[in-house]
Every structure is written in structure tokens, then in C-alpha cells.
A and B are shown apart, each in its own frame.
Chain A
Amino acid sequence: MVNMTYVEASRLAVREAMQGDPTVWCVGEDLGRGSVFGQYLGLQDEFGPDRVVDTPISEAAIMGAAFGAAMVGTRPIVEMRFSDFALCATDELVNQIAKARFMFGGQSRAPMVIRKPIGIWRSSAAQHSQSLESWYVHIPGLVVLCPATPQDNYSMMKAAIACDDPVVYLEHKNIWSMQGEVDTTIRAELGKASLRRKGRDVTIVSWSETANLCVHAAATLAEQGIDAEVIDLRSLWPWDKGMVLDSVRKTGRLVVAHESVAVGGFGGEVVATVAEMAGDALKGPVRRLGAPRSLVAYAPNLEDKMRVTKDMIVTGAKETLGK
């Protein structure tokens, strides 16, 4: 066990993967200086500029070129800087990378990790704050991961690099400095959720930074005599339906909470799946918590209007229990 931050954890995973496999490389803007959040600090010194590649500000080319290089046998880690900028490379991801294997009848693979830092980060405003994970879940061909802890950012990054599918890897910008114990022997099984807290009364499903908030909310609920189970999905595609359904069958209550806009969000998919497959187990109303369908503003008071808070999760859980 080593104590490290969320950003150090993924950096260590990338470093170890690069040490173990000469075909793994990183590509993106300003990687030599560590990129915006220090995710690559020291890697160019260790592996050289041909494996930690600084690029022009050409998101479409970063994505497209990495894909071309993947098709000839390399394993690129693609840095998009902010998930918002990845939209400049949407054709490359959605029409090319996600579809090539199928369209070409299985002739190709795109073993790529596409890193897109997401989320509200104080006063970054509308073009640097989005969480669009539900878009990617909607695209067949992609794996979608949202690690919320240093441990997961280590072991899921390792598993993502080893995976032969294109993986959209969504780190949350607000938790780069989050500390935690990391056991480097733990192997993540992608698609398995993390049971962050065991409980009997209500199931709370979440991911990314909001999952951490749900753990805090569960502590508050416990003080009020409510025993909440917190499931951190951490992988949105594939997602751990089994753990969620088993939990709801046990508790009969469901809250889903995420930072992204509630409308069309992945929370709706979770609720719909529970309704279809365990609807008879539900003993109370479901609560779906997400951002209003508005934009993230610059002014802090306006920005806060977009947040799902601990209090909202606590209230939501109590409402499912009729309290």
C-alpha cells in the first residue's frame, strides 16, 4: 500500500505500462511539460519525446493519428486535455475508432485509451466543465470508464491500457489531488462496480466525483439512522447491472446521482434498467439527481446552481424511504 494522489496513481499506471510494453505511448498537447494537470510529469524525461509525444493543437489529428498508429500495432494513450476539446475529434472517435472493427469485419482493433478530463472545476465556465459520459455510452464499440479514487485510477488505467477495445477514460478534474491508499497488486476487472459502502435501507448509485460525495452523504444518513448502500459504478460501459439489481432487490429503494445533466444522462439508463428488471422490488419512489438542463457558469454562485450536493443526496435518499 502506498499513499498517493489521484493524478499520481494514473501517472504511475501509465509509467509502469510503458516500462512493460514498448508499444505503449502517449500523445497530446504539452505532454512534455506534464500536460495541464501534471498527468505526464517526468514521463518524457524517462521515455523520450518519441514515446511521450508533444503535438500541434490538432485534436482531430491527435485522435485520428493515434487511431492509425493503433491499427498498425501500437497502443496509444491519447490526451484530450479537457473533455470539451475532444468534441473537435468527434468524427475520429465516433465514426472511425468506434466503428472500424465492425465495419471491417473484425480485421482491425483500436487498443487505445482516450483520456478526457471531465467535470466542474471552479470557475472554468461552460467550455471547460462538461461531463458528457452518457454520449459515449451511447456509442457501440466504446468502453467508458469513470474512476473516482486513487486506487481505481491506478488499477483501471492499467486495465484500460491492457484492453484491446477503445476506452474512453474520464478522469474528474476536481479530484487530481485526492489522497488515498493504492495497492498496486489489485487488478481491476472492467465492468465491475465498486461497493463503496454496504447498507440495507437504500441503494445509491453513482460514479466519478459524485460517488465520493455519496459516500459522505451515506455517513450523514447513518447519523440519522439510515443505512445506505453506495455503489460506485466506475465503469459505465460495460456496467455492473448485477450489483445494482441485487442491491435494489435487497433495499427496495434507489437513488441515482451524477454531476452531468440529468436529462438524457446515464442515470436514466440505470433507473430504466431497474424498473425493467427489478421493478417489483421497488418499495418507494426513485430519485434521479443530476444537473439542471442549463450551462455551467463562471460566477461561483451560478456554478453552484449546477451541482448535485451532499444535502440533495441525503434528501433524495430519505424521500425514497418516505421520510
Chain B
Amino acid sequence: MDKSHNTQTARDLLVMMERIRAFEEQAILAAERDNLVLGAIHPSIGQEACAAGIMTHFNRDDILLSTHRGHGHTLAKGADPLAMMRELLGRTGGCCGGKGGSMHIADFGVGMLGANGVVGANITIAAGAAHGLKMLGKSAIVVDIFGDGAANRGPFLEGINWASVFDLPILFVCEDNQYSATTKTSAMTGGPGVAARAEALGLRATVVDGNDAEAVARTTHEITTRLRAGGGPEFLHAITYRQTGHTSFDPASYRPDGEAEKSIADNDPIARQRAVLGAMGLDRAALKAIHDMAQAEMVQVLADASATPFPGDETAFTDVQDLGSPVQEAR
């Protein structure tokens, strides 16, 4: 790779991280300042390098499954931020017509088959998506991202074993922000950790600094190259840190003093990527322009989403099922 290509890739990573953060900052404002977000939102602030780095190497027709903390993954997969923000606000024109909200965001048009309100549930579903693609002879691959807490649920065993047994084209990512809601995951997790668990089930496992966007992207590229060449399922343990509370309303006072402050000061993925670009020669003005553009985009997104009406009442009864639908029953 020549130097300009490196710079472009590095810049793209920063742009995506800035957009994710700006989107979530606006979402938090919408929740707390404006009271416009009706349910819980789970920000991924501090974890943007995972979303940006991983999705760099997944195409539109590849498949993504995510979690309740999935805004970043969804945006990086190519979803429209206005449709996403409308969904958070429960509005018409939202990704799911305002019927899902943040925790059920999905955009099948960009291969994003859903966040999930049930921790760990997407692990088996993602394995099945890979199974289906393989059966249909498609070349697309699958990535499923889940949290460190999900590794303690049954689907972790069943889904990863499934992918191993059927040799499926899937990357499982444990985006380890070190917390399961308000509990330190390490205090609740036996044995030598998630990568070892995945290895025990026959997967190749890689550990990466999840706050280093360059490293995440590079590692993902190596993995997806193997997956696209017909290699078996793989596991990526990306270690990161959740800078906010569990939800936007959680002050996270259970964290040890100084822990979050230190991570924000020394290990913020956006600051680190700015430093990478600075070393490549981008000046402060160029970096600020990237930041300002992302902010302006998402301020506008929130303004536009807020001005969108709620869905029509009749949609409370649509898309339940074909046979015996509530619409038919009401006749």
C-alpha cells in the first residue's frame, strides 16, 4: 500500500468514528435535553474504533448482526443516520418505521439484520445466517458483534459450536467494554477468557486493542481475507472501554474513581486516530474540519428527525403475520 492509500484509509476511519460519536452525542441530547428518545439507548462512546475498523472490511451485501449497543456498527455498515435517528425517536421513516427503536434497529438494505434486545441472542441467529448463505452458494460473509457479558449466556456455546461444526463463513466479535451493565464482567467470568473459550470450540481467535482503529481494521482485513477464501469461522476479541454509563441515563457511579477519566484521557479511540493522522501530516485544521463536518451532519439529522411525525396508528397492527393478522381479526 502506498502512503496516500494509508492516509485515505486512516482518514476514513476517523471520519466514521467522528460520525458515530456525533450521532450518539446528538442521540443523548435528544434523550436527556429534549426528552425525545422514548426508550433506553446504549451509547458506544469510546468504542467507535471497533465499529469503524471492523466494518471497513465488510461490504454492503455481507451480513451484520449486532447488539443493543449497535448504533456505531449500523452506521458503519452504511445505514442512513436520519432513518436511524428517526427510529430512536419512534418516528415514521425510521429504519423500522418507529416500531423497533434503538434496541431493534435493523436495515436489511445494507445487510444489517438487527440489533437485539436480548443479550447474546444474535449469536445463534448469525451462525444461521452464515449457514443459509453457504447453503445458497452465496459468497457473502457474516459478522456478529456482541458484548463481553454475552459470553456468559448459552447461545455463546451453542452458536459458536454450530459455526465450528458446519464450518461457516462468519466472524464473531466480542466487543469487550469490560462491563455487563453495572457489573465488571471479569468478576463474573470463569476461566481464561472469551478467546480461550472460542479456541476451545475450534475457532481461530485473535485479540486486538479495540481502541486502535488501525489495528482493528488491519486484523479484520486479515480475517476477512481468510473467510472470503473459504476459511472457517473466526473469533476476534476487541478490548475497549465504555466511556458512558450503561444507558444514557446511567451515571455509572459504580466504576472505580478515575477509571473512566483515565481511559478518556489516555485511550480515547478518536484522539488516538487523530494522532495517527497527525503523524501522517494532517494538520489541526484538517482534523477539526472532519470533526465539525460530522457534528454538523448529525445536528441536522436530529433536527430533521425531530420534525418527522410519529407513525400512523394503523401500523400498530401491521407486519405481525400474514395469517390471522390483527388487521384481519378486526374485520
A, B bound: yes
Residues of A at the B interface (CB closer than 8 Å) are 23, 25, 50-51, 53, 55-56, 58, 60-61, 63-74, 91-92, 95-96, 100-108, 140-143, 163-166, 190-191, 237-239
A92 to B129, CA, bound (A): 14
The answer to whether the Cβ of B108 comes within 8 Å of any Cβ in the partner chain is yes
Report A180 CB to chain B, min CB distance, Å.
25
B78 at the A interface (CB under 8 A): no
Residue numbers in A under 8 Å from B202 (CB-CB): none
Interface residues of B in 60-111 (CB under 8 A from A): 63, 65, 94-100, 104, 106-109
By the criterion CB–CB under 8 Å, are B131 and A65 in contact? yes
Asked whether B128 lies within 8 Å of A96 as measured between CB atoms, the reply is: no
Chain A residues positioned under 8 Å from B121 (CB to CB):
64, 91-92, 95-96
Total B residues in contact with A, Cβ cutoff 8 Å: 53
Known contacts A74-B132, A143-B324, A237-B324: A102-B159 contact under CB 8 Å: no
Given known contacts A64-B128, A66-B128, A71-B129, is B96 in contact with A103 (CB within 8 Å)? yes
In the complex the two chains form, is B130's CB within 8 Å of A68's CB? yes
Pick from B63, B114, B321: contact of A104, CB below 8 A: B114
Query: Across the interface, do A61 and B118 meet the contact criterion of CB distance under 8 Å?
Result: no
A253 to chain B, nearest CB (A): 26
Asked whether B127 lies within 8 Å of A108 as measured between CB atoms, the reply is no
Q: Are A238 and B328 in contact (CB under 8 A)?
A: yes
The answer to whether B125 touches A65, judged by C-beta atoms less than 8 angstroms apart, is yes
User: Shortest CB–CB separation between residue B106 and chain A, in angstroms?
Assistant: 4
A56 touches B96 (CB 8 A): no
Q: What are the 3 tightest A-B residue pairs by CB atom distance, in nearest-first order? A: A68-B128, A64-B124, A238-B324
Q: A60-B124, A65-B124, A96-B121 are in contact. List 15 more A-B contacts (CB 8 A).
A: A58-B124, A61-B127, A61-B159, A61-B161, A64-B123, A64-B127, A66-B128, A68-B113, A92-B125, A103-B100, A103-B104, A105-B106, A106-B97, A108-B113, A238-B328
20 contacts between A and B (CB under 8 A): A50-B135, A58-B161, A58-B162, A61-B158, A68-B65, A70-B128, A71-B129, A72-B132, A72-B136, A96-B125, A103-B99, A104-B108, A106-B319, A107-B106, A108-B106, A108-B114, A140-B321, A238-B324, A238-B328, A238-B329
Shortest C-beta distance, B117 to chain A (Å), equals 8
Q: What total of A-B pairs shows CB separation below 8 Å?
A: 163
Over the window 116-160 of chain B, the binary record of Cβ atoms lying under 8 Å from chain A Cβ atoms (1 yes, 0 no) is: 111001011111111111011010000000000000001101110
Q: In the complex, are the beta carbons of A104 and B324 less than 8 A apart? A: no
| B residues neighboring A (CB under 8 Å) | 63, 65, 94-100, 104, 106-109, 113-114, 116-118, 121, 123-133, 135-136, 138, 154-155, 157-159, 161-162, 165-166, 318-324, 326, 328-329
Which B residues are in CB contact (< 8 Å) with A68?
65, 113, 124-132
CB pair B165 A69 closer than 8 Å: no
A-side contacts of B166, CB under 8 Å: 53
